[in-house]
Chains A and B, each alone.
Chain A
Amino acid sequence: MTRNVKRYGWIFSAVAVLTFAILAAYHSGAQVGAAANGGVASPDVTLAAATRGVVFDTAAINADGSIAACFGCTGAIHLSTGTYEVDFGTNVQATNGWSRWVQPDTLTTGSEAVFCDTADRAGNANGIFVNCQNAAGTFTDGAFFLFVAR
């Protein structure tokens, strides 16, 4: 028995290492979209200013992250499947009284079955993070309108 444990012990070790690697890879894959913007958790915040809802900037962004048209934007980046950064020429963080509205829209005919959410862009005060997903919760590319109000 002891000899068998010695002989085949390396198999148990290998299986354990392999299992750990698979779980780690799966976990990192599931977090790709979230990790791209500073983590999943959204702490409760007290914002320094309240938005009055007056639209200052707008953008129409294609599914590949290119700009179809915009007013006040300075650039857009397709970060990964379903995630985008749209940049403006000023600080558009929520705590400064800015609010964001995103509306999935094909910008032409056709249809797209996605819903999108917004956030401050981690590491870029002038950017807005947009993530879009389908009904199953899978990150999915989609064109959209973005309104930035204060």
Chain B
Amino acid sequence: MNLKHIQRYIVLGAALLALGSIGAVNAASGAPAPENGVAVAPTVKFKVVSRGIMAETAAINADGTVGSCYNCNPATTTRLGTGTYQVAFKGGSVAMKKGVARWVQPDTLTAGNTQVWCDTADRAGVAAAVWVNCQNHSGPADTAFFLFVTK
């Protein structure tokens, strides 16, 4: 066994140890698998704050298609899974650190009714998109909604 082999084993061992640690932490905390970058939102502080001026809007159907929008990007707007959506815009980053605020309103966009509530977040890995997740009393649930982005 030469030096090269020893180095390979050390790297492989370290990688396995790291993976094992992550698994142990998740198992210990009972945290759900991160769907949008992190399992739990960290405490953050930003230098720029939203002044509440409406910049972009979107009306999204329950299947993730765009009902109508102002400055959104339909090509990269999509339903990610049951109750989770990526809504993309063309006006640059809509990440919180850019002084943006997001408002989501479950709405059928027509008559009928929906019984869900939704939350927003930065979309992990896509700065120009907002992540929306919706649920009802029994878990994730699809719904149509309005999304407003203010700066």
Residues of A within 8 A of B (CB): 33-34, 37-54, 83, 93-95, 97, 99-102, 115, 117-122, 129, 131, 133, 135-137, 149
Contacts and interface: CB of A to CB of B under 8 A. Distances in A.
A100 B67 contact: no
A42 B143 contact: yes
A34 B109 contact: no
Contact of A119 (B57, B61, B68, B112): B112
Nearest to B65: A44
A115 B67 contact: no
Given A100-B146, A118-B106, 16 more contacts: A42-B110, A44-B61, A44-B144, A45-B61, A49-B68, A51-B57, A51-B70, A53-B148, A95-B110, A99-B57, A99-B146, A117-B116, A118-B107, A118-B108, A119-B107, A137-B138
A120 to B, nearest CB: 5
B70 A118 contact: no
A136 B137 CA distance: 5
B66 to A, nearest CB: 8
Contacts of A49: 68
Interface string B53-70: 010010101110101111
Secondary structure of the A side of the interface?
loop
Given A50-B69, A137-B136, A94 B54 contact: no
Interface of B: 54, 57, 59, 61-63, 65, 67-70, 103, 105-117, 136-138, 143-144, 146, 148, 150
B115 A121 contact: no
Given A45-B61, A94-B59, A115-B117, A50 B68 contact: yes
A99 B67 CA distance: 12
Nearest to B104: A101
A37 B69 contact: no
20 contacts: A37-B112, A40-B112, A43-B110, A45-B110, A46-B67, A46-B68, A52-B57, A52-B70, A94-B107, A99-B148, A100-B105, A100-B146, A101-B103, A117-B116, A118-B106, A118-B107, A120-B111, A129-B111, A131-B113, A137-B115
Contacts of A121: 111
Contact of A42 (B103, B112, B137): B112
Given A46-B68, A50-B57, A137-B136, A131 B115 contact: yes
Contact of B59 (A39, A99, A115): A99
A17 B115 CA distance: 32
A135 B62 CA distance: 21
B75 to A, nearest CB: 16
A53 B112 contact: no
Contacts of B106: 117-118
B142 to A, nearest CB: 9
